Each structure stands twice: as structure tokens, then as C-alpha cells.
Amino acid sequence: MPLTRNASKFSHALGLAIILTGIFASSAVMAECQPGQMQEANLAYQSAQEFLVNRQWDDAISRLQSIIQVCPEHVDATRGIGTAMVGKSQFAEAVPYFKHVIELRGDQAQAGDYANLGKVYAKQKMYKEARGEYMKAQILAPNDCGVLYNLGAMHNASKFYSQSVEVLEHALESCPAISEPVLKLLTKSAEKAAAQQKANGNNERAQYYTGLAQKYGGQAGGSTTYDMVKQKMKQKDYKGAVALLDQMLAKDPAHTGGLLTLARAQDQLQNRSASIAAYQKYLAIKSNDENATAAMLQVMVENNQCTLAQSEAASSARKFEGKGREALAPIMYSWGLALECTGEYDAARAKFQQCASSGHARYSSYGVRQVERMEGLKAREDAEKKKAAQGQ
């Protein structure tokens, strides 16, 4: 559908949200035709418009081709063929028609004419070419929301991340009706600009764009911020992930994915108490997650809360007993670690043995190794006791 200034409905293409701008432009400037030819062309165009509106693309093309045979410089008919080609997903074929519209209109070409050409380039992943057309469109319509958004998207796709941020910040200020999609793209562009500046050795500018990414990510809402968090975790930037998660959870404290990721990030940073607190908040909402429960118990052991971990493990084992031996395997494994922590090797071995025989795809092998470890530790302990007794 056509997009007018400050419109709020968009059609997203190629993951870059290329907005359909100016498909049906109003009263184009006609090139000179003979009066009789012009009258015939205009009458034919009225019926062709109905085909365009009804998305009868082949009929539209046939009628429009007959028009430009009569009047080769008929701007609306030329544009209409390009529009019908887009409707048929024949983007490369649409290019010469949209180019010809710009040639025909000359100095009177409008932003929508360049935007149409930019759109079909973008559909072909010719992002630099699309960027150039949208830049021309912005000169003619500096505050057009569709042009600003698409130009920001093309800057991003062409790796001109700083320029994308600049344009999208202008869109955010000028186009409140489209703030949500603008914020999402702006956040991504700012993050990529930060990475680009850092790679170029511009640490100060990188920090500036990192700050913008966090700022706009928070405004965009949990989903966008959480996407950034996942990227931080993948990069092992746990401090960055925690900073974003704190921002996100301040607005959405019940975001379970955020709470679980925060617990894991804090564990990686060896902030054990903070990790346990995040696990507890998560489990207060998702109480039936045995894997997260087991992970929390392991962090408790790492934090030297071994006796408390044993008590929590016993309680959890009773709670999840009805799920069967396989589901209990992570709990038994953590329980074994807690018992090992206090030197109760025989008891720990028994828990690891339950884990080993559980049939769990991952924890069974873990349990086997730990059983062997416990046997070794117990043998060493017994040997030391024997040696001490002989020394007496």
C-alpha cells in the first residue's frame, strides 16, 4: 500500500523493513504528446488504474504497455508498469521503468520517484544503490517518515552505521507514529556503529555508540534489549549483558528469560550471591524448572553454601520426584556436589550413582565420572586415616 508522510503502516522486506512509498503518485507532470494521443492515453490509464488497485498485474501491464506505445512519455503509465512488476516480484524488470520516470520528470522528480527505485534495488539486495536513491529522496523530502526510515535501513545494510544512527535519530524526533520500528533499528545500528568504531581503534566513539544502543534499546522495550543481551552473552561480554539486563528488568522484573540469563551472567562474573538471587527470582516464577534449580544449587556450592545446598537439594528431589529419574538427574548431580563439598564422599557417590543410572543424555556420563572421582577421594581419605592411625 502507498505510504504518505507520517504514515504508520509499513511493509517489511528482507529483514530491513523496506517501506512501500509512493507506489501510486498523484498527478504526474506529463511530457508533450499530441492532444489526441494524450486524450487516448489518459482514458486508457483510468482503466489501467483499476487493474493496479485490484492487483491484476498482468492486465495492468498489458493496458499500460499499450498506453506508452501511444504516448511513450506518459509518466503515470511508465510508473504503473514498474509498480506492476514489483507486484509480480520482478524487481530487476521494474528498475528501468522507475529510472525512466525520473528521467521523464527531470527537475520535477519527487521523493517518491527515487524511493520507488530505492525499494526495488533493496529488494535485490543492492543496498548501496538503494541507499543512493533514498539519499536523493531525503533531499527532496527531509522529514518524510518513510524516506527517513528506509534511508536509515539502507545505511545500516551498507555498513554506514554512524549515518544510520544520525538519520534514525532524526526519524525518531520527527515521526512519533513510527517510534517502535525506528527504535528497534536505531538500537541495532548504534550497536553496530560501536563495534565498527572499536574495530577502527576509536574507543571513545565506540563507547558513545554503546551508550546510545543501551539508551534506545531500553526505550524500544524488552525484546530489543534482550536481543542485545543474547549477543553480549555470545561475545562473552558478561558485564555488558548484566548492564543491559539491569536496565531491562527494571522495567519488566518478571521477564523470565532475562532473570535466567542474569543468573548465568553473574555466575560467569563470579558474582555468586547475585547469581543465586537472580535464580531465586526466576524460580519464584518458573518453579518447575529442575535444570535451573540444579544450576542454582551448583552456584550455591561454588559460593561455599554447601549445607544449605544439601537442604535445598533434598527439598527439590522430593518436589520433582514425580517427574521420574531422568528429570531428577540434574538435582542428584548438584546434590552430589554439595555432599562432596562437606567431605561426605560415600553419600555423594550414592547421588552420583543415581545420576549415572538415570538414562539422562548428558548427566548420566557426568555421573559416571563423578562416581569414579568419589571412589578415588574415598580411597585417598581412607589411606590417610590408616596412615595417621599407624603413626599414632
Domains and CATH numbers, the chain: 288-392 (1.25.40)
Question: Is 356:364 a contact under the CB 8 Å cutoff?
Answer: yes
pLDDT band with cut points at 50, 70 and 90 for residue 221: low
Contact 313, 305 (CB under 8 A): no
pLDDT score, position 11: 30
Whether pLDDT at 26 is above 60:
no
Task: Please state the rounded mean pLDDT for residues 44-73.
Answer: 90
CB atoms within 10 A of CB 369: 11
Query: Using 50, 70 and 90 to split pLDDT, how confident is the model at 28?
Result: very low
CB 301 within 8 A of CB 338: yes
State the virtual CA torsion across 140, 143, 149, 154 in degrees, nearest 10: 30
Confidence category of residue 139, pLDDT binned at 50, 70, 90: very high
Looking at per-residue pLDDT, the higher value among 153 and 388 belongs to 153
CB-based contacts of 384: which residues, under 8 Å, 6+ apart?
A: none
pLDDT band at 391 (very low <50, low <70, confident <90, very high): low
Q: Is the confidence at residue 36, as pLDDT, over 80? A: no
SS (H, E, C) the chain: CCCCCCCCCCCCCCCCCCCCCCCCCCCCCCCCCCHHHHHHHHHHHHHHHHHHHCCCHHHHHHHHHHHHHHCCCCHHHHHHHHHHHHHCCCHHHHHHHHHHHHHHHHHHCCHHHHHHHHHHHHHCCCHHHHHHHHHHHHHHCCCCHHHHHHHHHHHHHCCCHHHHHHHHHHHHHHCHHHHHHHHHHHHHHHHHHHHHHHHCCCHHHHHHHHHHHHHHHHHHCHHHHHHHHHHHHHCCCHHHHHHHHHHHHHHCCCCHHHHHHHHHHHHHCCCHHHHHHHHHHHHHHCCCCHHHHHHHHHHHHHCCCHHHHHHHHHHHHHHHHHHCHHHHHHHHHHHHHHHHHCCCHHHHHHHHHHHHCCCCCCHHHHHHHHHHHHHHHHHHHHHHHHHHHHHC
Task: Compute the distance between CA of residue 329 and CA of residue 351 in angstroms, rounded to an integer.
Answer: 9
More confident residue, 7 or 246: 246
User: Is residue 116 predicted with pLDDT exceeding 60?
Assistant: yes
Q: For residues 54 and 329, what is the distance between their CA atoms, to the nearest angstrom?
A: 61
Q: Is the pLDDT of residue 35 over 50?
A: yes
pTM of the model: 0.57
Instruction: Say if residue 176's pLDDT is above 90.
Output: no
pLDDT reported for residue 222: 56
